[in-house]
Amino acid sequence: MKKLFIIAAVSLLAQGISAQTINRSQKPKPGPAPVITIGDPVIYKLTNGITVLVVENHKLPKVSASYSIDAGPITEGAKAGVVSLMGSMLKEGTTTKTKAQFDEAVDQLGANVSTGANGGSVSALTRYFPQAFALMAESIRKPAFPEASFDKIKSQTITGLKSNEKNAKAISGRVVDALAYGTNHPNGEFESETSINGLTLADVKANYAKYITPSRGYLTFVGDIKPEAAKALAEKAFGDWKGATLTLPTLAKVSNPAKTEVDIVNVSNAVQSEITVVNLIDLPMSNPDYFPLLLANQILGGGSESRLFMNLREKHGFTYGAYSSTGAGRFQSKFSANAAVRNEKVDSAVVEFLKEINTIRTAKVSAEELQNAKNLYNGSFALGLENPARIAGFASSILINNLPKDFYRTYLQKLNAVTADDILRVAKKYYNHDNTRVVIVGKTEAFEPGLKKAGFVVNQFDSYAVPVKASAASSTTATKSAKDVIAAYITAIGGEAAIKKITSLQQNGEMDMQGNKLAVSMKNMLPNASSMEISMGGQAVMKQVFDGTAGYAMQMGQKKELTGDDLTEKKEDKGIINQLFYATDGTKIESAGTAKVGSADAYKLTITSPSGKKKTEYYDTKTGLLLKDEKTITKGTVEINQSTEYADYKKVGDVLFPHSLTQNVQTPQGAQEFAIIIKEIKINPPLKAEDFR
């Protein structure tokens, strides 16, 4: 009992002392910046110019190595895309091994080997590393460049470009750089279907000979290996390699806009608009402004506690997240701030972006904001040192950027010495406000009027950064009514009499999805029964059926009855050609001016169904044919924009039908595109009610 009493007394005494010495209502004061101890790598120089760096770490029986070529920005011009294509070809086998044989050799070692346009990397257990390293060297030095692989990769690249034609995020990534740097600058040029189609295998081989070389090469070893052993492997694999001599390109400086401009690109099916505020900066890593600007960016838009995030997401709910980034290096780089914002809130979001950028340029950050940013860097930098490859990266960065030898040893001291005055100075110097560029890619009709009302001068560009000039509409275009547009369409496809002779219709085609060919079958029967089935290998993967009163959708064996808006939409579809019933079924049609669909001028109509659902239809001003329709579907709280483009009209019987249907679906998570090619159309096939059950 006495013993328990003594323990309790001591415990109470300790708590009393703690209460007197620690004030838990205040954050503890930050300590001094930790002293970083970083060992220097062992450095060798091969006679052909390759710099070898070795960082020993014997904690695990594993070794990694990477070979990188410091070629600087490469201007591709009319052959844009050749560097990427060449990098992909390095993975397609060597002069002694097919791709399958090479991959099998890597797998047998339990290794990872990767190559690309800038070099290659390898990692393996210590006992297998010499063989794995030799495979990496072989893939870099002795690529086979098989013609079949070239054709395959070229086709895949074009498919990827096509799938992103209506992807606002992908378009924004291309257009922002093109407008910021100019399309003749290596950072502003981009690959296109035309440039990829123009490439030959000879172009790839020539690019390889010019840029895959020991010149300006850095070979880094990290892990369970002695410097002498690493040097011996390097000499054996690369010592006799000869190649073209590289020199860093000299690039002309690109100016920012003289006055802030707003550049917009229309993606009519976009659910959200991509906003980017961007200006170019010159910031070598050796510049004393480097460290203050790291912290300025962290405070402005570096994470979920930054000013942009707290303003645009937490305060206003415009977006899921708003961020900024600040580049650095030997060449011009970008400061940019960006977010994906609801279309109707774009004008307000732009105002808030510019307000936050201007605030950090004109008023000191708080002591708490500054310290929080420092704490984040202190922690992440220290954690990063646990990775030996990070230390090896420091060594090559010092050499490439001509930095002091103690740059990373004193990294945190420099960072923690930054003051609020430093942040204010660099923000004003590097973050433009009155002479910046705002690039917005999205549904322009939803936000362009608001931008103009807010006082912004707006420039229009297409999805390849080419200026769009508003064309004066002809008097015929300007005065044609919505009713006349629909009448012209009915006439263009064959006329009312011919359409009314069709009581049933069956269309068979195919669709490409992620490299797989799927069969598509669509059936319609008067008055408004419909079905669509997508199958692969004879097995249905998706089916939707409506018998005129009820229906269901089935996907991967899961069946769900049509309800709500889905059911209402099916009930409101009339006949084989819906437009024939617009004048009599309560549908409201209104003219919304003209627009471009691809290169064609089109009449734009707003269609409101009897239940109030809206969609937009576009009709060619010359042919009268339907080119495109688009609508917004709401699933819970998520908006989905869906558009379908119609092309390749051919006469079947007495009526024209489109034989190419391209559907694009945009959600906040991204875009998907499906292209259906119609192979066969049957008019008045003997369909039965059972076909729609």
pLDDT attached to residue 137: 98
Domain borders along the chain are 42-165+205-238, 261-461, 475-692
Total number of residues shown for the chain: 693
What's the first-to-final CA gap in the chain, in angstroms? 84
- Using CA atoms, how far apart are residues 620 and 310, in angstroms rounded to an integer? 45
* Closest among 303, 343, 350 to 322, alpha carbons compared: 303
CB atoms under 10 Å from CB of 497, counted, come to 8
* Six token digits for residue 288: 């004393």
Q: What's the CATH class of domain 475-692?
A: mainly beta
Residues 6+ positions from 613 with CB-CB distance below 8 Å:
565, 568, 569, 572, 631
Cα angle 182-188-193, degrees, rounded to a multiple of 5: 115
Q: Do domains 42-165+205-238 and 475-692 have the same CATH topology?
A: no
Contact, 68 vs 181, CB < 8 A? no
pLDDT attached to residue 17: 35
- For residues 422, 427, 430, 435, the Cα torsion angle rounded to the nearest 10 degrees is -150
Residue 388 CA, chain-centre distance (Å), reads: 30
pLDDT attached to residue 386: 78
- Using CA atoms, how far apart are residues 452 and 448, in angstroms rounded to an integer? 6
Write down the number of H helices and E strands in the chain: 21, 25
- Using CA atoms, how far apart are residues 556 and 107, in angstroms rounded to an integer? 34
Low-confidence ranges of the chain (pLDDT < 50): 1-20, 472-477
Contact, 53 vs 219, CB < 8 A? yes
* Closest among 217, 169, 119 to 340, alpha carbons compared: 169
* DSSP codes of every residue in 347-367: HHHHHHHHHHHHHHHHSPPPH
Question: Each residue of 568-588: b (16+ CB within 10 Å) or e?
Answer: ebbbbbbbbbbbbbbeeeebe
CB atoms under 10 Å from CB of 80, counted, come to 20
- Using CA atoms, how far apart are residues 316 and 297, in angstroms rounded to an integer? 21
CATH architecture of the domain formed by 42-165+205-238: 2-Layer Sandwich (3.30)
Contact, 86 vs 75, CB < 8 A? no
Q: What's the CATH class of domain 261-461?
A: alpha beta
- Using CA atoms, how far apart are residues 45 and 181, in angstroms rounded to an integer? 36
CB atoms under 10 Å from CB of 409, counted, come to 15
- Using CA atoms, how far apart are residues 48 and 670, in angstroms rounded to an integer? 47
Return the DSSP state at 314.
I
* Six token digits for residue 199: 């490439």
pLDDT attached to residue 174: 97
Write the burial class of residue 508 (CB in 10 Å: 0-12 exposed, 13-18 middle, 19+ buried). Answer: middle
* Closest among 69, 157, 51 to 120, alpha carbons compared: 69
Contact, 423 vs 360, CB < 8 A? yes
pLDDT attached to residue 382: 80
Contact, 275 vs 438, CB < 8 A? yes
Residues 6+ positions from 88 with CB-CB distance below 8 Å:
116, 153
